[in-house]
Amino acid sequence: MATSKKSLQTLAQDRESLALVTARHPALEVFSMFIANRAALVAMVVLMAIILAAIIGPMVYKTDPFEMVWAPFTPPGTEGFILGTDYLGRDLLAGLLHGGRVSITIGLVAALMSVFIGISFGAFAGYYRGYVEEVLMRITEFFQVLPTLLFSMVIVALFGASLQMITIAIGLVSWTAVARITRGEFLRIRELEYVTASRSAGATDLKLIFQVILPNALPPIIVQAALMVGSAILFEAGLAFLGLSDPNVVSWGQIIGSNRLYILDASYTVTVPGLAIFITVLAISLIGDGLNDALNPKLRSR
Amino acid sequence: MSDTILDVKNLRVEFNTRGGIVPVLDNLSFSLDRGERIGFVGESGCGKSMTALALMGLLPSIGRVASGQILFKGQDIVNASTKRMQDIRGNEISMIFQEPMTSLNPVFTIGSQIAEVLHRHRNMDKSEALKTAVDLLDAVKIPDARNRIASYPHQMSGGQRQRVMIAIALACEPEILIADEPTTALDVTVQAEIFDLLRDIGVQTNTAMILITHDMGAVRQMAQRMLVMYAGRKVEEGTVDQIIKSPRHPYTKGLISCVPHIRKGADRLPNTLPEIDGIVPDITSFGKDQCLFAPRCERLTQQCLDRKPDHQMIGKAEQQSVSCWHPYGRQT
């Protein structure tokens, strides 16, 4: 008798622990899916290392990236310069570390900006339909058909090549994808039963948009946002390569742009920042992919 | 007797379809007393759910109330402001839906979804609302409510989710609860439990209920009065006992004979289960000036095709009314 009682007790305990295990936050589930993806995990580690280097690097390695510290075109690994010097004798390692800050910041801020604009347009268009949708989506299409590079060059040329303007220019040309994705998700989700149920419980329009539909629409938006950070970094590099960069700060693209004339004589001056961009964007893409797999319920194993 | 809480008068709801404007609800009138439970019966596509959505002010965008009144506590809510309707919904009139599997927001815990309504209508702060949510889950008989409020909808079964929906609907102690086929998606044993729960709660809290279903058995178990709808029109109305004992409309009679055992004393199964031949007419023919059931009716005459029958009282004490040119049992 005593043993059976004991086992009942442990059974009850088991049930309780079972309940605790099943009641996991969905974000945790997504996280465990994400880290199960090798490529995404490696990419995450690499990106973290790059971000850390960009944050801590300039504090530790105090050389000014604009200062001419040695003879031009010192090859990497000689004279104590790990990555060598560029055509003006500036330390490339310092440029890389400082430039990382700028490039990644531009990528993040521009992506945030386009997510913000895109969600606002897409959410209201998808929720309200009718005239609101017509107007908002025509505006979106207007931005979509503009040649992006040309449009951002015009903005930078008109308002000056400052860091802020370049970021705004990139954000302004890349939000349309988010708007379309958000609208699509809203069109789908607004017809679902739980939205009607919330409405029948007295939810207001704004509550439905931001607290009921948006949280459910987020997964593809998050993936798109992650990928957008990468493309914004590339975009900045492209602008800088064309000479449209803030002359007061170093960025990876700017290093490539300013050394492009010597691409044959001193190829390392463009290869090094080019590799930095390549690795960063690749890592971000892989993370975006991993997020996509983790957030997509169809691929998620229960 | 008791006071009327909802009085629907000559309600006409029109859909603007590609084939033109059609009435999905045609001259519908009924009233509901405080604490009364009324059943709406009919096949799919007869306007039962549209009645519910019209009451909630949640008609789809192609639909509108063309004429008639919905008097809630004496106040016409057909033209009430959006804000007024939002204050009514979930607070004074609540609704539960057919599909418990998809009626809960998948990204929030059930506790926060219950708390949300309380916060919205009762201004409760978070911890107070969660405490009330636990009590509500207890009331709808979800075991281990204290821990379950942290669960997500996908961690619960269909029956449990429907209980959560009921808890949300009842959170603000509404005066009217509309249940739109609340058990269609659930299996039979759970159906009975949900109906028991709804009835018990209705009795305890004196909540008026509108039960929409095509299940005659459920109506008999749940409701005091019933209203039979066909093609957007009310064809018969009366107390449940009276109608099941002597249905007047051929459609009602057909519906009842489709269910074995529903009449007391009928303890032997018939060899064949009767059915009503045919289907509900297409929505485009809803507005016609004829009896819309005529093509399926065994008592069809020319009169049925020429004019729409009026709704008339039948029998003593106005317990039953019917829209039919040739109702059964005229002599009683």
In tens, the pLDDT along B206-242 reads: 899 999 988 888 888 888 999 999 888 888 898 888 8
Of the pLDDT bands very low, low, confident and very high (cuts 50, 70, 90), residue A288 is confident
Mean pLDDT of B103-122: 89
Q: What integer best gives the mean pLDDT of chain B?
A: 85
pLDDT in tens, A65-112: 777 777 777 777 776 677 777 777 787 788 888 888 888 999 999 999
- The Cα B33–Cα B50 span in angstroms is 21
User: Which domain CATH number covers A93?
Assistant: 1.10.3720.10
Please state, as a whole number, how many other Cβ atoms lie within 10 Å of the Cβ of residue A73: 17
Residue owning tokens 């607004």: A190
CB contact under 8 A, B97 and A203: no
pLDDT at res. A242: 85
List the domain range (segments joined by +) for residue A221: 25-295
Give the pLDDT score at A299. 57
Report chain A residues whose CB lies below 8 A from the CB of B89: 199-202
Phi, psi of B70, deg, nearest 5: -120, 100
Mean pLDDT of B79-102: 88
CB contact under 8 A, A196 and B58: yes
pLDDT of B215: 82
Average pLDDT over residues B11-33: 88
Q: What is the full DSSP assignment across B206-251?
A: T-EEEEEES-HHHHHHH-SEEEEEETTEEEEEEEHHHHHHS--SHH
Which of A14, A18, A200 would you mutate first to test chain B, the one with the most B CBs within 10 A?
A: A200
Question: In angstroms, rounded to a whole number, what is the distance separating the alpha carbons of residues B91 and B87?
Answer: 7
Report the percentage of chain B scoring pLDDT > 90: 14
Q: Which pLDDT band, with edges at 50, 70 and 90, does A3 fall under?
A: very low
* pLDDT higher than threshold 70 for residue B331: no
Q: What is the mean pLDDT of residues A162-181?
A: 91
Longest CA–CA separation in chain A, Å: 90
Chain A residues within an 8 Å CB radius of B106? 194, 216
Whether residue A192 and residue B102 make contact (CB cut-off 8 A), yes or no, is yes
Q: What is the ipTM of this complex?
A: 0.82
The shortest C-alpha distance from A87 to chain B (Å) reads 55
Residue by residue, DSSP assigns chain A as -HHHHHHHHHHHHHHHHHHHHHS--HHHHHHHHHHT-HHHHHHHHHHHHHHHHHHHHHHHS---TTSB-S-TTPPTTBTTBTT-B-TT-BBHHHHHHHHHHHHHHHHHHHHHHHHHHHHHHHHHHHHH-HHHHHHHHHHHHHHHHS-HHHHHHHHHHHH-S-HHHHHHHHHHHH-HHHHHHHHHHHHHHTTSHHHHHHHHTT--HHHIIIIIIHHHHHHHHHHHHHHHHHHHHHHHHHHHHTT-S-TTS--HHHHHHHHGGGTTTSTHHHHHHHHHHHHHHHHHHHHHHHHHHHH-TTT---
Q: Would you state the pLDDT for residue A265?
A: 79
CB contact under 8 A, A197 and B103: yes
Q: What is the least distance, in Å, from the CA of B306 to any CA of chain A?
A: 40
Query: Could you tell me the CA-to-CA distances from A60 to A64, A79, A97, A100, A102 in Å, in that order?
Result: 12, 19, 10, 14, 17
Mean pLDDT of B193-204: 87
Half-sphere exposure of A121 (CA within 13 A, CB side): 24
Model confidence at B12: pLDDT above 80: yes
CA–CA distance, A240 with A243 (Å, rounded to integer): 5
Mutate to test the interface with A, among B92, B107, B112, B144 (most CBs of A within 10 A): B107
Q: What is the pLDDT of residue B267?
A: 58
Identify the band that residue A213 occupies on the pLDDT scale cut at 50, 70 and 90: very high
What confidence score (pLDDT) does residue A10 get?
A: 55
Closest by CA to B216, choosing from B185, B233, B189, B241, is B241
How would you list the strands of the sheet with B176-180, edge to edge? B93-96, B176-180, B208-213, B37-41, B225-230, B233-239, B320-323, B311-314
Instruction: Judge whether B154 and B106 are in contact, CB under 8 Å.
Output: yes
Lowest mean pLDDT among B111-120, B131-140, B278-287: B278-287
Q: DSSP 3-state assignment of B55?
A: helix
What pLDDT, on a 0 to 100 scale, did the predictor assign at position B70? Answer: 92
Q: Do B165 and A197 lie within an 8 Å CB cutoff?
A: yes
In the predicted structure, residue B59 carries a pLDDT above the cut 70: yes
Q: Quote the pLDDT of residue A114.
A: 93
Which residues of chain B approach chain A closer than 8 Å at the C-beta? 56, 58, 61, 86-91, 94-95, 97-99, 102-108, 116-117, 120-121, 144, 147, 150-152, 155, 165, 168-169
Per the CB < 8 Å rule, is A23 touching B151? yes
The residues facing B14 across adjacent strands are B23, B64
The CA angle B147-B149-B154, to the nearest 5 degrees, is: 105
What is the pLDDT at residue B262?
Answer: 61
Confidence of residue A302 (pLDDT cuts 50, 70, 90): very low
More confident residue, B202 or A297: B202
Stated pTM of the model: 0.81
Q: How many domains does chain A have?
A: 1
**Residue A202 — left, alpha, or beta (φ > 0 → left; ψ -120 to 50 → alpha)?**
left
Span B4-82+214-323 CATH architecture: 3-Layer(aba) Sandwich (3.40)
Q: Tell me, what DSSP letter sits at residue B12?
A: E
Name the pLDDT band for B268 (thresholds 50, 70, 90): low
CA atoms within 13 A of residue B259's CA, in its CB half-sphere: 16
Q: How far apart are CA B138 and CA B160, in angstroms?
A: 12
- At residue A1, does pLDDT exceed 50? no
What tokens does B167 get? 């808890």
User: What are the extents of the domains in chain B?
Assistant: 4-82+214-323
CA distance to partner chain B, nearest, from residue A192 (Å): 7
Q: How confident is the model at residue B269 (pLDDT cuts 50, 70, 90)?
A: low
The minimal CB distance from B89 to the residues A192, A200, A212 is found for A200
Start-to-end CA distance of chain B, whole Å, equals 25
How many helices (H) and strands (E) chain B has is answered by 11, 12
Burial class (CB in 10 A: 0-12, 13-18, 19+), B88: buried
For residue A202, give the nearest of B87, B108, B152 by CB distance: B87
* Residue of chain A whose alpha carbon sits nearest to that of B86: A202
Whether A5 is covered by a domain: the verdict is no
- pLDDT, tens only, A112-164: 999 999 999 999 999 998 899 999 999 999 999 988 888 988 988 898 888 88
Is the Cβ pair B97, A193 closer than 8 Å? yes
Q: Output the pLDDT for position A270.
A: 84
